[in-house]
Chain A
Amino acid sequence: MAEHNDEHRPRGTVVLIYIFLACFVIFTYLNWKQLSDVWTVG
Chain B
Amino acid sequence: MNWKFRVCPTTGLKVHDSAETLIQVNAVTAIVFLLVGGALALLMVLTRWQVVHILPADYFYRLLTLHGIAMLVAWIIFFEMAVLYFASAVLLSHRLAVPWLAWTQYILMLVGAAMVTVMVLMGKADVMFTSYIPLQAHHMYYLGVILFAVGAILGCIVFFATVTSAKVEGAYEGSLSLVTYGAAAAAIIAILTLAHGAIALIPTWLWALGVIPMMDPEAYILMFWGFGHSSQQINLCAMIAIWYLLGTLTVGSKPISEKYCRTAFLFYILFVLIPSEHHLLVDPGLSAAHKVWNTGYFMHLAILASMMHAFSVPAYVEVALRKKGYTKGLFGWLKEAPWGNPAFSSLVFSVVGFGFLGGISGVVYGTEQINIISHNTLRIPGHFHATVVIGTTMAFMGVTYYVLPLIFKREVAFPTAARWQPYIYGTGMTIFSVAMMFVGGFGVPRRHWDITAADAVFQLNYGPVVNIGLAITAIGGILAAIGGLMYCLIAVATLLIGKKIPQEA
Contact = CB atoms under 8 A, between A and B. Distances in A.
22 contacts: A1-B256, A7-B322, A8-B327, A10-B314, A11-B330, A12-B318, A13-B314, A15-B330, A15-B331, A16-B314, A20-B355, A20-B356, A23-B356, A23-B360, A27-B364, A31-B365, A32-B369, A32-B370, A34-B441, A35-B369, A38-B373, A39-B373
B361 A27 contact: yes
A27 B256 CA distance: 30
B324 to A, nearest CB: 10
Nearest to A36: B369
Chain B residues touching A, majority SS: helix
A34 B373 contact: yes
Interface centre among A8, A23, A38 (most CB of B within 10 A): A8
Nearest to A15: B330
Contact of A10 (B310, B319, B365, B369): B319
B330 A12 contact: yes
Interface residues of A, number: 23
A1 B257 CA distance: 8
Interface of A: 1, 4, 7-13, 15-17, 20, 23-24, 27-28, 31-32, 34-35, 38-39
A8 B364 contact: no
B323 interface: yes
B331 A27 contact: no
A7 to B, nearest CB: 4
Given A8-B323, A10-B319, A35 B364 contact: no
A38 B98 CA distance: 58
Interface centre among A4, A13, A31 (most CB of B within 10 A): A13
A34 B319 CA distance: 40
Contacts of A1: 256-257
